[in-house]
Amino acid sequence: MAVTREVVRAQASEPSPPAFDIRRIREDFPILKQKVYGKPLVYLDNAATSQKPKAVIDALLRFYTQDCANVHRGVHLISERATQAFEETRLKVQRFLNAREWREIVFVRGTTEAINLVASTFGRKNVGAGDEVLITALEHHSNIVPWQILCEDKNARLRVAPINDRGELILEEFEKLLSPRTKIVAVAHVSNALGTVTPVREIVRMAHRQNVPVLVDGAQAAPHLKVDVQALDVEFYALSGHKLFGPTGIGVLYGKAKLLEAMPPYQGGGDMISSVTFEKTTYNTVPYKFEAGTPNIAAAIGLGAAIDYLNQVGLDAIAAYEHDLLAYATEAIAKIPGVRIIGNAREKAGVISFVMEGVHPHDAGTVLDQEGIAVRTGHHCAQPVMERFGVPATTRASLAFYNTKEEIDALVAGIHKVQEMFS
Amino acid sequence: MSELSGLYQEMILDHNRRPRNFRKMEGASREAKGYNPLCGDKLILYLKMDGDKISDISFEGSGCAISTASASILTEVIKGKTRAEAEALFDAFHDLVTGKGHGNGTGPQLGKLAVFSGVSEFPARVKCASLAWHTLHSALSGAGEVTSTE
């Protein structure tokens, strides 16, 4: 009962977010109003990149028309405004991920750079000959290749935890692969190719029992799930701004402060130093130690606007709406004869990957495109996943909270058209 | 004709459903592999050379309708051609699918290859149509490496 009362009080003290109004939300995304080939755009390629609300576009425009200056440098007013907006975004990201401290938020170009940063600093320092890095069979190339490069360099071994036929991580097998040789675990929170949500809490518990730190690739999770890095207890969490309705070229690495402090710098340059002489350089404190050079200031501020927008719509409302939409889409696509959904995990977010009998995904993509429907076809930068399911490629429809059931119906009609053409 | 039916002409759909010369060739004198990493298309071309002439040609592999039909039609039009004739056809075909020409200039007659004229409206699909031709080129030049469209 106490819990209920607390919830009620919380609702009473904060203005409750407005009800989820899909028509109003679509109005916020200018790009969705356009027609392609004379047909309304049905954008179902959100896992590749998501569209931007007007609030984000306006923030970019405002920065470049009013506040454009470099950060952490000038004493002049515009530089102060730019610095303030940039650093405010760091606080917004901190709250968004529920990080304990603002200095645990490092700005990077995107998830790929975040993972490369950890591999080439933490990894280089802590992984040695004979050690192991443990990943899963669900990973995007960006959570495979940086570790391969590291392992090759250090004579270490990359281990891969298998998945089952539903596309779920086999936890018992994962646990068996953990050993004193394991120096880091790197795992996707949501699979970009299949939509599988991985059990990060259990993964972290298992890894921590062996004192192994965990990096989570959250590129596909952050746009769909509420992420709480303290509750997950992960050491590192990576995400991309452009998949989170923000601009391209900005991403976030969350790292526990203690680990970030112990890590060597990533790139050398301006802003990452305290003092430089030709004899010795003293590095700046975290997070600046990892932010050499002028960052993508405008994009960071745009990401802050995207987070404000998401909070305003309401993360819980978004999750609930998407849950219904994914269930609707899954049912509608699964019942089309000749269509097989790849990846049927019990817990999924945002993605439906499928193959069609007798039709190559690339042909399906072209026909759907002519219907105004944007999907991704190919291996989705996850070739090992494709190999696991014995398909060269899939067609992937990936959802965002601005998609509608009518758009799913358009996709289903498009699939029928593809089948007619190639039957 | 809509752009889509211009791309997927009936002959292309037919060759996709029933590819011609689709077999592994025993005793091939040349062999080359082609790969399109973008969509995962893979094919192997087998050639039998009689001096400078391509006396027999076949292929195996998996790919989209455009790449499968292109390989199938290639085997039909290239059989009996000399190396120089084959290379000249490749040039004419390449001009056709990239929209640089329509094969009615001074080059060789395109014949049934003209069904690929619609590809030029779909820049993302040019690689699908030309994969088999790039692979043929590598088989003829004897590079012997996997030909990639990337």
Cβ neighbourhood burial of B136 (10 Å; 0-12, 13-18, 19+): buried
Domain presence at residue B148: no
Residues spanned by the domain of B14: 3-143
Paired sense of beta strands B30-36 and B147-148, if any = parallel
Q: In Å, how far is A51's CA from the nearest CA of chain B?
A: 22
A19, A40, A67: which is closest to A302 by C-alpha? A67
Contact B39 A370 (CB under 8 A): no
The span from the CA of A138 to the CA of A154, in Å, is 24
pLDDT given at position A51: 98
ipTM above 0.90, yes or no: no
The span from the CA of A283 to the CA of A294, in Å, is 16
Region B84-111 average pLDDT: 84
Which pLDDT tens digit goes with each residue over A26-51? 999 999 999 999 999 999 999 999 99
Q: What is the CATH number of the domain that holds B136?
A: 3.90.1010.10
**CATH class of this structure's domain A19-48+315-422:** alpha beta
Domain presence at residue B149: no
- Domain boundaries for CATH 3.40.640.10 within chain A: 57-311
Q: Report whether pLDDT(A3) > 60.
A: no
Region B44-62 average pLDDT: 95
Which pLDDT tens digit goes with each residue over A345-379? 999 999 999 999 999 999 999 999 999 999 999 88
A103 DSSP assignment: G
Query: Which residue in A has a C-alpha nearest to residue B61's C-alpha?
Result: A392
Contact B7 A360 (CB under 8 A): no
Domain presence at residue B106: yes
Which pLDDT tens digit goes with each residue over A308-354? 999 999 999 999 999 999 999 999 999 999 999 999 999 999 999 99
Query: Which residue in B has a C-alpha nearest to residue A37's C-alpha?
Result: B3
Contacts with B15 (C-beta within 8 Å, 6 or more apart), sequence order: B68, B69, B72, B73
Over pLDDT 90: what percentage of chain A?
A: 89
- Specify the DSSP element, H or E, that contains B86: helix B83-97
pLDDT given at position B40: 77
- Domain total of chain B: 1
The span from the CA of A12 to the CA of A1, in Å, is 17
Domain presence at residue B78: yes
Write down the pTM of the prediction. 0.91
Domain presence at residue B57: yes
Cβ neighbourhood burial of B100 (10 Å; 0-12, 13-18, 19+): exposed
Q: Could you give phi then psi for residue A391, rounded to 5 degrees?
A: -125, 145
- Domain boundaries for CATH 3.90.1150.10 within chain A: 19-48+315-422
Cβ neighbourhood burial of A100 (10 Å; 0-12, 13-18, 19+): exposed
Kindly calculate the radius of gyration of chain A based on its CA atoms and give it in whole angstroms.
22
Which pLDDT tens digit goes with each residue over A187-213? 999 999 999 999 999 999 999 999 999
A57-311 — its CATH code? Answer: 3.40.640.10
Residue A68 annotated in active site: no
A375, A387, A383, A389: which is closest to A345 by C-alpha? A389
DSSP of A295-308: --HHHHHHHHHHHH
Q: In Å, how far is A393's CA from the nearest CA of chain B?
A: 7
The span from the CA of A403 to the CA of A23, in Å, is 10
Instruction: Return the exposure string of B112-128: e unless at least 16 CB atoms fall within 10 Å of the residue's CB, then b.
Output: ebbbbbbbbebeebbbb
Residues 28-67 of B with CB under 8 A from A: 38-42, 62-66
Both tokens of A45, joined, read 């390629």
